[in-house]
Structure formats: C-alpha cells, structure tokens
Structure 1
C-alpha cells in the first residue's frame, strides 16, 4: 500500500511570491519523515504540494516534479482530487465535521467514494477507529457528535477519517501542536504503529518529537525575509540530531537560532 515519493526541482509560488525553491528529495515507503525548521521556511507549503493542496489557494502554483512511485502527480491527465484520495492529510488543529457523528466523520470519505452498504461501512469504521487507537473510547457513543470529543480524541478521529479511505501516504501538519502532552504521546504512538502500512510525513516544531517518531529528518531554512525556503539537509534522524553535515542544521537543533 505505501509508496515512495520522489521530488525533483520543486518550486512553489503564491502569486509573485516565491515560497520554496528547488527542492529535491526521496521519501521512503513505510517510514516516517519529519520536516523541521523555523517558522516561515516553507515546510507546510512543501507538505501541501505533495497532495496538490497548495493549488487550492488563489494564485498558487507549482513547478517541478512529484512522483508517487512511477506516477507524475502533476501530469496533465492527473485529477487533483484523485491525488488527495491516495495522499491523505491531517491538519494542525483537529477538524472533525462539526455537524456529523463520530461514525459519520469516519465514513464520510467512503460515502464520497460510493461505498453504501451498512455492513461494509460498519466494518471500515471500526477498523479505522481501531487503527487510530480510538475504538475502545468511542464504541458506545458512535452516534454522538465528533466535535464533542476531547482535542486529542478529535485528532485521532481525524486520523481515523484519513485512513478509512486506505491512502498510500499520510501527511501530518503539526498534528500535536494544539494537544496536551498525554494526547501528544497517544498520537506519536499511533504514528509509530501506522508506519508499517503507510508512508508518513510529519511537519513539527518539536525537536524531541522529530527525534522520537521519525526515521529521516529534513531541515528547511530561509535566507531572510522575503526569500524562498530551501531544503538545507536531509538524512537519517539519528545523524541529523547528533552529527549534521551543515552548520545551520546544528545551530537550529541546538537552539542557537530559530
């Protein structure tokens, strides 16, 4: 199910603003890749280019190539909506559909894809909630609003919603930034479990989190205000945090800037 992502020569723009410049990297399947770097250096913008969410913003565009195994995601015949079905996304703040029950939140993507049978929906909803380590907490109140859960539970509900449609890649944009330490640990444990099935990419400002959950880490930086973000270095997480090649990486990790 999990797939490799190959990015080459990628630039992203917001109108005339050059947001990220000439990024190339390989993201391995069945692994967790963390993006770190100071605010405004293009981490989240780059993340959104991987499932074509970037271009939903007026005037936003991308140059370069993103390959999902052998498929060019920016090919002229590729449907962006189809891309987002195979590359799911979990956002910074939990965003369950407020008018929907816990059950319907998880089933929403399945119904959009034409799945109708109650037996099939029940099966996938339970499997997805179990996959998000949430089933035992909500199995007796599936008809209650998803928005009534705690913040940490809401974020795991959003992860269940994302994995219900069986994506091949899961993108996570600071998924724990609004959560308390116990909920953060629950999400981190979940990420560690899910990587056996998915290719996972996580943006985080938490250095300890990147060190705990990721196999590889990419450090992004920006030369100054108004300059595009760039990929400075990418390597095994253990090397990035103990013996980075670039001085800028070491300065950021040790807290000398950023």
Structure 2
C-alpha cells in the first residue's frame, strides 16, 4: 500500500510570490519523515504540494516534479481529487465535520467515492477506528456527534477518516500542536504504528517529537523574511540531530535560532 515520493527541483509560487525554491527529496515507503524549520520557511507549503492541497489557494502553482512510485502527480489530466485519495492529509487542528456523527465522519470519504453498501461501510469504519486506536473508546456511541469527542480523540477521528479511503501516503501538518501532552503521546504512538502500512510525512515545530517519531528529517530554512524557503539538509534523523552537515541545521536544533 505504501508508496515512495520523489520531489525534484520543486518551486512553489503564490501568484508572483516565490514561496519555496528548488526542493528535491525522496520519501521512502513505510517510513516517517519529519519536516522541521522556523515558521515561514515553507515546510507546510511544501507538504501541501505532495497532494496538491496548495491549489485551493487562488494563484498557487508549482514548477518541478512530484511523483508517487513514478507516477507524475502534476501530469496533464491528473485529477487533484484522485491525488488526495492516494495522499491523505491530517491538519493542525482537529476538524471533524460538525454536523456528522462519528460513524459518518469516518465513512464520508467512502461515500463520496460511491460506496453505499452498509456492510462495507461498517467494516471500513471499524477497521479505520481500530487502526487509529479509537474503536474501543467510541464503538458504543458511533451515532453521536464527532465534535463531542475530546481534542485528542477528534484528531484520531480525523486520522481514521483519512485512512478509511486507504491512501498510500499520509501527510500530517503539526497534528499535535493543539493537543495536551497525553493526547500528543497517543498520536505519536499511533504514527509509529501507521508507518507499518503507510508512508508518513509530518511537519512539526517540536524537536523532541521529530526525534521520537521520525526515521528521516528534512530541515527547511529561509535566508530572510520575504525570501523563498529552501531545503537545507535531509538525512537519517539520528544523524541530523547528532551530527548534521550544515551549521544552520545544528543552530536550529540546538536552539540558537528559530
């Protein structure tokens, strides 16, 4: 199920503004890759190009190549909606659909894809909630509103919703920034489990979190405000945190700036 991402010479623009410059990296299947760097350096913007979510902003466009197991995600005729089914996303703040029950939140993507069989939907909901370590907590109240869950449970519900459509890649944009430490630990444990099936990419400002959950780390930075963000260094997380090649990486990780 998990697939490899290759980005080559990616430049990202919002209208005339050059947001991210010349990023090339590979994300291996069944790994967790963390994007770190100071605010405004383009890591979340780059993350969104991996499933074409940046295109919801008028004027946004990309130059370069992003492929999923060799398939060009930006080739003419490729449907962005189809890309987002293959490359799911979990956002910074939990965002259950407010008018939907727990069951309907998880089943929503499948229904959009035309699945109507109640048995198939029920099996998929149970499987996804189980994979998100939420089934035992909610199995007796699937008809209640998803918004009635705690923040940590809501985020796991959103993860269940994302994986219900069986993507190959799961993107997470600061998924723990709005959560308490106990909920954060639960999400981190879940990330470690999810990489057995999925390719996972996470943006985080938490250095300790990056060190705990990721196999590889990519450090982004920018020369100055208003300049495009760039990928400074990428490698095994242990190496990036203990013996980085670039001084800017070391300065950021040790807290000298950022």
2:254 matched residue in structure 1 = 254
Tell me the C-alpha RMSD between the 2 structures: 0.4
> Where in structure 2 are there 5+ consecutive unaligned residues?
none
**Offset at 1:159?**
0.1
Runs (4+) off by over 6 Å: none
**Offset at 1:141?**
0.4
2:148 matched residue in structure 1 = 148
State the TM-score, normalizing by the size of structure 1: 1.00
**Aligned counterparts of 2:92 and 2:70: Cα–Cα separation in 1:** 30
Q: Is residue 2:219 matched to residue 1:216? A: no
Residues 8-35 of structure 1, C-alpha deviation per residue, up to 9 Å, x if partnerless?
0000011111000000000000000000
Work out whether residues 55 and 62 of structure 1, in 8 Å CA contact, stay in contact via their aligned partners in 2: no
**Offset at 1:243?**
0.3
**Offset at 1:96?**
0.2
1:66 matched residue in structure 2 = 66
**Aligned counterparts of 2:79 and 2:118: Cα–Cα separation in 1:** 29
State the TM-score, normalizing by the size of structure 2: 1.00
**Offset at 1:214?**
0.1
Matches within 5 A, 1:75-114: 75-114=75-114
**Aligned counterparts of 1:62 and 1:149: Cα–Cα separation in 2:** 37
Residues 176-208 of structure 1, C-alpha deviation per residue, up to 9 Å, x if partnerless?
000000000000000000001000000000000
Q: Is residue 2:175 matched to residue 1:166? A: no
> Where in structure 1 are there 5+ consecutive unaligned residues?
none
> Residue 158 of structure 1: SS of its match in structure 2?
helix
**Offset at 1:77?**
1.7
Count matched residues. 258
**Aligned counterparts of 1:169 and 1:54: Cα–Cα separation in 2:** 17
> Residue 39 of structure 1: SS of its match in structure 2?
coil
Residues 134-166 of structure 1, C-alpha deviation per residue, up to 9 Å, x if partnerless?
000000100000000000000000000000000
1:7 matched residue in structure 2 = 7
